[in-house]
A and B are shown apart, each in its own frame.
Chain A
C-alpha cells in the first residue's frame, strides 16, 4: 500500500510516497517539484555576479551560498595563478557572519518545526508562541551579523580577497553585546542553565539538568518513545572547514580524510532534486555530522547510547548553537581592525578559471563549482546539503533520510523523523 503525503512548511513543500508492509513503512519516495534554474541564470554573467545571484537560492541559508560562491572564485583565481591571501580579520569576520546564520537557522528550526511538531505528535499542546521566540533570537543574531554584512537575508558583502566592510570597535562592541543577549536567551529560554553550567555538561546523564525549551523537547521525544527512532547509516561527512570541524568523514566513530573530487551528483527519477554521494556511499551531513567528525564530547556521549537517532540529531543541532556562541565571542574578541578588509585590489576580470569550494552551511556541506571563460560564467554547479540527506539511495543502499524513516509505524512518526533533518525545499530544487 502506498500513501502519498504532502509535507509543507519546509521552506516550500515535498511529497512523500510511503510504502507500507505489515503495518510498517518499508520504503519512502521523496519528491520535490519545481526547478528554478539557478545554475542556468548564472551562465554568461560576470564571475562575481554569483555573489549576488546565488544567495537568492535560499532565504534561510543565503549567507552560506555567498561564502561558498566567494571561496569558489578565490579557488579559481588561485588555480589561475593569482595568490589570494585573506587577512585574519577578513577570515574571522566571514566566519562570524556565517556562524550567525547557522545559529539563526537552528533556533528557527527548533522553535518553529521541532517543538510544534513534537507537541502535535504527543498531544501535549501548549499555548506558547514559539514563532515569537524564534523571531526574537533570530532577529538578535542577524542584527549582530548585519553590523558586518549590511543585512540579512541576502547580503553580498564577501568579495574575492576579503569583505567589503571596514568595521570600527564601536561596531565590534555592538556585535558582542548582541551575542551576549543571545547567550542570555540560551540560558533563560532554551536551557534554564547558566551558560557556564551548560558548557560543563559532559555526559548523557548530566543532560537531566537541562530545563527550558530544550529540556522540554528532549522530554517529549523520550515520552513518545522516539529516542531511538530515526537511525540511519551512522555515516557522516563534513567537506567544509569551519570553527566547528575540519573536513572529514566518519563511519560510527572512525574519522578519515575527504576530498571534493569523490563527490558525485546524479539525476533521480520522479523528482527535480539530484542525488549526491561520496565514492558511491551515502552520508549524513549537518550538525550531527560536524559533531561526530569534530569529536564533540557531549554529542558523542549521546551517540554512544542512541546512535544517529532523532534524539542525537535534534540535540546536536541545538547544541551547535552553544558551540557557535562560544566561537563567535572568540572571533569578535580577536579582531584586529588595523588589518586590511580586502587584500585584492584589482579583480581578475577577463580570465579563464575553474574554482570550487565547500562550506559548512546550517544543514551541512554546501558545494559551488564555477567555470569561467573570459571573465564570464560558462558553467555553475551547486550541490546543497539537503541533497546529501534526502537522496533516494542507489542499488546498494537506501538514502539517509529514507533509511531513518523505514520501520516507522505511522506517517506522523516518519514525517517527524523527516523534519529532524531540517529539510530545505527551496535549496533542494535550486
Chain B
C-alpha cells in the first residue's frame, strides 16, 4: 500500500503503566497505519533493536513518541537514565509526540513526587526549561490513556507534511478544540438541567451530582469514540478530566457545588450566563425528561 520511504518511529517510556502502549495496540486500523511507518523501538511490539542498543542514543529516528511521566534522575531504561535517552533522541528526531497525560503534563505519577516528576516539556501547564529547545517539534496528546486514532491522525499528518493547528499547550485543535461534552448522548438532559438520579441509568446528565467534568474538559471522547464504540459518559461514567493538566483531581465521583450550582462552569461560559440559562430551563417541567426511555413489560 505504502510506496514511499517509511518514517522511523521510536517509542520510549519512562514512568508509566503502559496504558498508551496497549491503547495503541488495540487500534483496529493498526495494520494500515504501520504500512506507512516502521518502529525502531516499541515497548511491546518486536522491533530490530534491544532497549540497551536504543539506550546508547545513536539510532536514527524521524518521530519520537514519549510515554510516561518524566524525572531527571532515578529512572532507567536499558540501564541508562531516561533523561539521557530522551534528550539524545529529542535532539535527533524531527518531531516529538508526548503520548498521554503523563508524558505531556506529569499525570497520575506526578502525584507521588510532585517536585521531581513532570511531563517532558510541560510540568502541569507550566513550561519546563526544555520548552525553548524542543517546542518547535512538539505535539502534545494528553489523555489517560491516549486514543489510538488521535496518535494515528498526528502521524499521518506528519507523514504527509501537512500542518497541524495546535493550541498554547501544543495540543492539536482538531482533537482538543472541543470538550468531552461535545457529542455526549446525554446532551438533551444537560440543556434542560435534568440531573441523573443515580448511577446505572441512561437518563440524566452527570454534570450536577456525579462529578462529570465533560463540559470543561478538552477532548474528543464523544466524537472519536473509544474502541470505536463508546465513551465514559455514554455508559454513565462521569468524565474525570483525564486529558487536562490538572488530572487527577480529587473526589472524582461527586460534583463540587456552590449554592447547589456546579463550582466549575462549562468551558468559557460566564457564571452569569450559565445561571440565566439554568433559571429558564429549570422553570419548565418537561414530562419526557422525567420518564424512562425504555419500559420493560412483564
Out of B25, B111, B248, B298, name the residue touching A135 (CB < 8 Å): B25
How far is A426 from B109 in the complex, measured between Cα atoms in Å?
12
Q: Which of B227-257 contact A (CB under 8 A)?
A: 227-237, 240, 242, 248, 250-254
Q: Which of A300-325 contact B (CB under 8 A)?
A: none
Instruction: Let me know if A46 and B250 touch, CB within 8 A.
Output: yes
Instruction: Let me know if B250 and A150 touch, CB within 8 A.
Output: no
Binds A, one of B10-18, B58-66, B120-128, B275-283: B10-18
Instruction: Let me know if B240 and A152 touch, CB within 8 A.
Output: no
Q: Report if B87 contacts A (CB, 8 A).
A: no
Given the contacts A139-B27, A152-B227, A166-B200, A131 and B250 also touching, CB distance less than 8 Å:
no
Instruction: Let me know if A8 and B112 touch, CB within 8 A.
Output: no
Out of A129, A134, A153, A164, name the residue touching B235 (CB < 8 Å): A164
Q: Cβ of A157: which chain B residues have Cβ within 8 Å of it?
A: 232, 235-237
Q: Cβ of A168: which chain B residues have Cβ within 8 Å of it?
A: 202, 294
Instruction: Let me know if A132 and B109 touch, CB within 8 A.
Output: no
Instruction: Let me know if A59 and B22 touch, CB within 8 A.
Output: yes
How far is A426 from B113 in the complex, measured between Cα atoms in Å?
18
Q: Report if A212 contacts B (CB, 8 A).
A: no
Given the contacts A9-B44, A13-B51, A151-B226, A37 and B250 also touching, CB distance less than 8 Å:
no
Out of A58, A60, A146, A347, name the residue touching B230 (CB < 8 Å): A146
**Minimal beta-carbon separation of A131 from chain B (angstroms):** 5
Which residue of chain A lies nearest to B250 when distances are taken between CB atoms in the complex? A45
Instruction: Let me know if B17 and A161 touch, CB within 8 A.
Output: no
Which residue of chain A lies nearest to B15 when distances are taken between CB atoms in the complex? A36
Instruction: Let me know if A112 and B252 touch, CB within 8 A.
Output: no
How far is A12 from B226 in the complex, measured between Cα atoms in Å?
25
Instruction: Let me know if B19 and A342 touch, CB within 8 A.
Output: no
Instruction: Let me know if B46 and A49 touch, CB within 8 A.
Output: no
Instruction: Let me know if B250 and A49 touch, CB within 8 A.
Output: yes
Q: Report if B75 contacts A (CB, 8 A).
A: yes
How far is A151 from B219 in the complex, measured between Cα atoms in Å?
15
**Minimal beta-carbon separation of A164 from chain B (angstroms):** 4
Q: Report if B77 contacts A (CB, 8 A).
A: yes
How far is A134 from B108 in the complex, measured between Cα atoms in Å?
28
How far is A418 from B145 in the complex, measured between Cα atoms in Å?
29
Given the contacts A49-B250, A342-B198, A148 and B235 also touching, CB distance less than 8 Å:
yes
Given the contacts A90-B200, A146-B230, A154 and B145 also touching, CB distance less than 8 Å:
yes
**Minimal beta-carbon separation of B206 from chain A (angstroms):** 9
Given the contacts A153-B145, A157-B237, A62 and B112 also touching, CB distance less than 8 Å:
no
Which residue of chain B lies nearest to A346 when distances are taken between CB atoms in the complex? B198
Instruction: Let me know if A426 and B200 touch, CB within 8 A.
Output: no
Q: Cβ of A38: which chain B residues have Cβ within 8 Å of it?
A: 112
Instruction: Let me know if B46 and A131 touch, CB within 8 A.
Output: yes
Instruction: Let me know if A138 and B25 touch, CB within 8 A.
Output: yes
Out of B25, B236, B237, B251, name the residue touching A46 (CB < 8 Å): B251
Q: Cβ of A146: which chain B residues have Cβ within 8 Å of it?
A: 226-227, 229-230
Q: Which of A48-63 contact B (CB under 8 A)?
A: 48-49, 51-53, 56-60, 62
Give the A interface residue count (CB, 8 A). 72
Out of B75, B199, B248, name the residue touching A34 (CB < 8 Å): B75
Q: Cβ of A9: which chain B residues have Cβ within 8 Å of it?
A: 43-44, 46
Which residue of chain A lies nearest to B39 when distances are taken between CB atoms in the complex? A131
Instruction: Let me know if B111 and A34 touch, CB within 8 A.
Output: no
Which residue of chain B lies nearest to A157 when distances are taken between CB atoms in the complex? B237
Out of A56, A132, A147, A156, name the residue touching B229 (CB < 8 Å): A147
How far is A357 from B43 in the complex, measured between Cα atoms in Å?
31
Q: Cβ of A84: which chain B residues have Cβ within 8 Å of it?
A: none
Q: Report if A189 contacts B (CB, 8 A).
A: no
Instruction: Let me know if A56 and B108 touch, CB within 8 A.
Output: yes
**Minimal beta-carbon separation of A128 from chain B (angstroms):** 11
Instruction: Let me know if A342 and B199 touch, CB within 8 A.
Output: yes
Interchain Cβ contacts within 8 Å, total number: 205
Instruction: Let me know if A135 and B26 touch, CB within 8 A.
Output: yes
**Minimal beta-carbon separation of A357 from chain B (angstroms):** 18
Binds B, one of A21-29, A281-289, A333-341, A385-393: A333-341
How far is A104 from B23 in the complex, measured between Cα atoms in Å?
12
Out of A52, A112, A154, name the residue touching B44 (CB < 8 Å): A112
Which residue of chain A lies nearest to B34 when distances are taken between CB atoms in the complex? A132
**Minimal beta-carbon separation of B287 from chain A (angstroms):** 20
Instruction: Let me know if A159 and B199 touch, CB within 8 A.
Output: yes
Q: Cβ of A345: which chain B residues have Cβ within 8 Å of it?
A: 198
Instruction: Let me know if A59 and B16 touch, CB within 8 A.
Output: yes
Instruction: Let me know if B15 and A34 touch, CB within 8 A.
Output: yes
Instruction: Let me know if A143 and B227 touch, CB within 8 A.
Output: yes
Q: Report if A407 contacts B (CB, 8 A).
A: no
Q: Report if B50 contacts A (CB, 8 A).
A: yes
Which residue of chain A lies nearest to B52 when distances are taken between CB atoms in the complex? A6
Instruction: Let me know if B226 and A56 touch, CB within 8 A.
Output: no
Instruction: Let me know if B232 and A155 touch, CB within 8 A.
Output: yes
How far is A165 from B237 in the complex, measured between Cα atoms in Å?
7
Q: Report if B296 contacts A (CB, 8 A).
A: yes
Q: Report if B177 contacts A (CB, 8 A).
A: no
Q: Report if B156 contacts A (CB, 8 A).
A: no
Q: Cβ of A112: which chain B residues have Cβ within 8 Å of it?
A: 44-46
Contact with B along A77-88 (1 / 0, CB 8 A): 000000000000
Nearest 6 pairs of A and B residues by beta carbon: A341-B200, A342-B200, A59-B18, A37-B112, A151-B226, A59-B19
28 contacts between A and B (CB under 8 A): A8-B78, A40-B112, A41-B108, A41-B111, A46-B253, A60-B22, A104-B26, A108-B25, A108-B44, A131-B30, A132-B31, A138-B26, A139-B30, A139-B227, A143-B229, A146-B230, A147-B229, A150-B230, A154-B144, A156-B232, A157-B232, A161-B199, A340-B200, A341-B200, A342-B198, A349-B254, A426-B17, A426-B18
